[in-house]
Amino acid sequence: MKEHFSNYYKGKKVFVTGHTGFKGAWFITWLNQSGADVKGFALAPEDENGLFNIIKDKFSFKHVIGDIRDKASLEKEILNFQPDLIFHLAAQALVRKSYQIPSETFEVNAVGTANVLEAVNKLEKKCTVVVITTDKVYENIEADYLYNEEDRLGGYDPYSASKAATEIVVNSFRNSFFNIKEYSKHQKAIISARAGNVIGGGDWSKDRIIPDIVRALQTSEKIFVRNPHAVRPWQHVLEPLGGYLLVGMLADNDAVAYSGAYNFGPLANDHVPVKELVETAIKCWGSGDWIDGYDATQPHEAGLLKLSIEKAIKVLGWQPKLNSKQAIEWTIDWYKQSPQVVYDFTLQQINNYQQ
């Protein structure tokens, strides 16, 4: 693997949107361990027990509460900071919530991304931007097929469609303002990263499978599983984050070679159904049971989704270090820790992953 990125970020000015979220909190913790100068821009954290509230006072970083839909405020913070790299994680990231707030989901995900990239266009310095989207950007034909970066974009639900729209926004800015043929003039590398279904400690979001599992296990209730037979590209949160750091470094050094879109997910033979995830989690916890809560009248969610990571393997030299079973075990182990040690355990998992 070309994964010698830890030293690369030492002293780099890194702007992170969505740093108060589940993935964002893990990401800025890892960046801090790497010696980066971090500035986060995000809404206030939604979950009192989430990872951000655990780590926020453990190390120094610049912390701005803001909404990426507020173009003036976002632009001001980016231009004042003069970042070397930007990782855009801020999003409305829940499928079921997108049915409740469809227009807001499009506004946050597509227009919010346009706001970030418009601010980047005003930066008069070199900057590498990694926009985080999702595995759900592809037009899902519900077949046993590994979607690759050249496949057609689409989306049944508002969340998936909004993220496909985000990819179109990214591609438009990449062509119109940051064309790679004119990199020597603008010096902006733009990457989109499409991650699979991410699991890990510190996530308490509503309508996500791991938080639902843990809440039930902690209260000795049966786990209500909406779609036990749905197959997803599960991966531990450190897998895609490592991919973001790697592609950020590579594109920062060679924009022509590494700009573009990349999938980050499990190996081809390691996509497992929700039922298997739940049963592995119960085994790791040491007790528990689940019930099939499938309801044909509930909002549509994809039944089968698999990613091809061949491009990331061949071009970036990236591949997952943990299989799906290990990803679930690492996740449940995190939730089994006491509040007093959970920050140290987070650092331990980052260090173990890097080993």
SS (H, E, C) 282-298: HHHHCCCCEEECCCCCC
pLDDT-derived band at 2 (thresholds 50, 70, 90) equals: very low
Give the pLDDT score at 85. Answer: 98
Residue 26 confidence (pLDDT): 98
C-alpha dihedral sign at 309, 311, 314, 315: negative
pLDDT of residue 137: 95
The DSSP call for residue 327 is H
Write down the pLDDT at residue 4.
65
349: in domain = no
Residue 339 within a domain: no
Question: The whole model's pTM is what?
Answer: 0.95
- Output phi, psi for 324, to 5 deg: -60, -40
What pLDDT sits at residue 292? 87
For 218, the enclosing helix (H) or strand (E) is helix 209-218
pLDDT in tens, 204-251: 988 789 999 999 999 999 999 988 988 889 999 999 999 999 999 999
Number of independent structural domains in the chain = 1
- The residue count of the chain comes to 355
pLDDT in tens, 292-305: 876 656 765 666 88
Burial tier of 333 (Cβ tally within 10 Å: 0-12, 13-18, 19+): middle
Confidence of residue 144 (pLDDT cuts 50, 70, 90): confident
- Cα separation, 81 vs 126, whole angstroms: 13
Q: Residue 128: beta bridge partners?
A: 85, 189
3-state SS assignment for residue 148: coil
pLDDT at 349: 98
Query: Is 341 part of a structural domain of the chain?
Result: no
Alpha carbon distance 87, 85 (integer Å): 7
- Per-residue pLDDT, averaged over 100-121, amounts to 97
Mean model confidence pLDDT for the chain: 93
Q: Examine residue 24 and state whether it is found in any structural domain, yes or no.
A: yes
Is 248 part of any domain?
Answer: yes
Beta bridge partners of 63: 40
| Cβ neighbours of residue 17 closer than 8 Å, sequence gap 6 or more | 24, 40, 41, 42, 68, 74, 86, 87, 88, 89, 90, 116
- 264's tokens: 């980050």
Question: Within a domain: residue 178?
Answer: yes
Q: Which residue has the tokens 């993220």?
A: 163
Give the separation between CA 217 and CA 295, rounded to whole angstroms: 22
Evaluate whether 222 touches 146 at the Cβ level (below 8 Å): no
Tokens coding 23: 């993935």
pLDDT at 1 over 60: no
60/37 Cα distance (integer angstroms): 9
Residue 163 lies in a domain: yes
Q: Taking the CA atoms of 160, 135, 9 and 341 in sequence, report the sign of the dihedral they define.
A: positive
Single-letter residue type at 327: A
Domain that includes residue 125, residue range: 7-199+233-270+300-324
- Residues of the chain with pLDDT > 70, as a percent, come to 96
CATH number of the domain where residue 102 is located = 3.40.50.720
Distance from C-alpha of 188 to C-alpha of 190, rounded to nearest angstrom:
6
**pLDDT of 102 over the 80 cut:** yes
pLDDT for position 300: 59
Q: Is the pLDDT of residue 37 over 60?
A: yes
pLDDT of residue 301: 65
205 inside domain: no
